[in-house]
Every structure is written in structure tokens, then in C-alpha cells.
Structure 1
Amino acid sequence: MNIRNGLSRLLRLKGGSRGAGFPDPDDPNLVIVVEAADETESASEVLARSPAWNPEAPAVLRYRFAIGTTASRDLRAPLEAEGWLLRTGTGTESSTPTAEPEPATLIAQCVRPIDAVTCARENSRMVGLAQRHRARLLGWQALQAPLRNDRPRK
């Protein structure tokens, strides 16, 4: 583990990543400011097309994986070791029954400042993890608190 990842993990474990200015991944007021489903699109292009992304503010970086039961256990271990917050859900929102079981969705989240280099590095890592553990990367998102002028008026 390199020093930067170790410090980031230590801050997350000690609650430092949720200090002043850092969003809570479970905050319902967070909005998706960046979203990408095409793993070939560069992170700099994805960030550049987002008018809502605030490069000065930390974000909740979220990756979604389609997983089977064996992939779930194998994929969880390295992500948990790095301090990612993991959630599971269903693969689709469809209510139509199908003959084959729906894959589950594993959602990995962490809180950090993001830029094109950070997102490109993490995306590359996540694609590799998915391939090694029989999962499929569905895409990534960044969530931030809405800008003051974007918040709903009361």
C-alpha cells in the first residue's frame, strides 16, 4: 500500500474523511454531478462536460458493478481492504420477471477530492478488478452537495 492510499484509508477509518467540507455518502441531499457508463471515455472529457461539478469540493466517488454470487465475495475483499464503503442492490429496476436471475449490483463508494487524474486512475483500477473477479463495471458517478444557487427554495 502506498503512503497516499494508507493516509486516505486511515482518515476514512478515523472519520477524517467526513470532517468539515467532506460529504457523507448517505446524505440524501447529494446530487450526481458527474456520470460515466462508457469505460473508454476519458475522465477529463466526463468532468469537462459536467457544469455541476465543483472541482474545489470533495465528492463521493461511486462505482457500480454487476456481480454474481462468487464475484461478490472475491470483489468485496480488496475494496473493503482499501476502505471503500460497499452496498448491494438489484441489477435492474425492471419489475418484469425473467427466466434468469438478475445479477446483483455492488456499489463501492469513497469520499475524496476528485480530478481527471484521480478518476482515470480509479476507473482503470476498477475495470481491472471487475475483469479479475468475474464482474462487469457498469459505470461511475461523482456526487456532491448542490451549489447554493441549485438548492431548492423553501
Structure 2
Amino acid sequence: MRNLFRPAAVDEPLDRADTSLVVVAESGDEAEASSAVLATSAWRVDEEVVLRHVLRLPAQRVPDAVATAALSGYRRLDSGPDVGPEVADANMADPTVTVTLARVQMLDAVHLSQERSRMASLGSRHGGLVVGWQVLQRPVGDR
């Protein structure tokens, strides 16, 4: 009986590490406009998202980059398809790691563009680069 009066799951805040979330928009092309990607995506404007940025960073710079991103509410995801081991990257002098940073927020094209710029700057300041970004939301049936 108690379950009949519980708030729906959609009232619960999103968790950036929730594996049930689905990618509704993404891009690995730094020149592609945020508005263009969102316009052709399954993104639902009136719902919170988890915004993930995937960066390649020199291994020794990761702690500083993660700490800097945390000032804006981002947290590093410890697992997932985008997290990999150290590898030699022909474009970088030092071994690099893939780092996925995520936070929960409301989103529109302007804010997405701002966050992409923030991550490009973060990557550059720490000797790395942005590989791509993803917007995740609950599956449609879970709304």
C-alpha cells in the first residue's frame, strides 16, 4: 500500500553514475554546433540531464584537472565505456588516460556550448584534449 503513495522515480534526482541512463545526444566533432546536435537528437528540453565530457589527459595531470572540474560541479566517473588505461597517444608527448567528467544540470544549446568551451579550456590547460561529449537522460518509459 505504501508504494501507491510514493513519489514517482522521476522525482528522484539524477545520479551521474546511473547506468540506466541513455545517451540522447552526443558528438566527437569539436566544430559541430551544440544547437545542431540537440535539434536532431532525442533530448527532452524540460528534463534534467547528465552532461558527460570525455578528455584525453596526460596521466600526471589528471588529479589537477579533476580538482579544477570539481569546482564547477563535475565529478570523474570511475567506470564506463569511455574510461581506459594509459596509452601512448601520437598527438601527445606523455602517456595519456581517458577521463570522463560528468554533472547533472538543466540544459539548452547555450549552456552546452559554454560547458564544451569550459572543457576545451580545461583540457588545453592540462596538456590534453576533449574527445567528445554526451547528454544522458532517463529512458522515455521512466519519465
- Please report the TM-score for the alignment, with normalisation by the length of structure 2: 0.77
Provide the residue aligned with 1:68 in structure 2.
Answer: 58
Gaps of 5+ in 2: 1-9
Q: 2:38 aligns with which of 24, 47, 50?
A: 47
Provide the residue aligned with 2:48 in structure 1.
Answer: 58
Provide the residue aligned with 1:84 in structure 2.
Answer: 74
Is 1:108 matched with 2:92? Answer: no
Gaps of 5+ in 1: 1-18
Provide the residue aligned with 1:145 in structure 2.
Answer: 138
Where in structure 2 are the equivalents of 1:18-57 lying within 5 Å? 20-50=11-41, 52-57=42-47
Q: How many residues align?
A: 125
SS at match of 2:11: coil
Q: C-alpha separation between the residues in 1 aligned to 2:71 and 2:44?
A: 29
Q: C-alpha separation between the residues in 2 aligned to 1:124 and 1:55?
A: 21
Q: Which amino acid aligns with 2:39?
A: A
Q: C-alpha separation between the residues in 2 aligned to 1:36 and 1:26?
A: 20
Following superposition, the deviation at residue 70 of structure 1 comes to 2.3
SS at match of 1:78: helix
- Please report the TM-score for the alignment, with normalisation by the length of structure 1: 0.72
Q: C-alpha separation between the residues in 2 aligned to 1:72 and 1:28?
A: 23
Which contiguous aligned blocks of 4+ residues in structure 1 show a shift greater than 3 angstroms? none
Q: C-alpha separation between the residues in 2 aligned to 1:138 and 1:64?
A: 5
Contact 1:84 1:108 in 2 (8 A): yes
Q: Identity rate of aligned residues, in percent?
A: 32
Backbone CA RMSD of aligned residues? 2.4
Q: C-alpha separation between the residues in 2 aligned to 1:68 and 1:77?
A: 15
SS at match of 1:66: strand
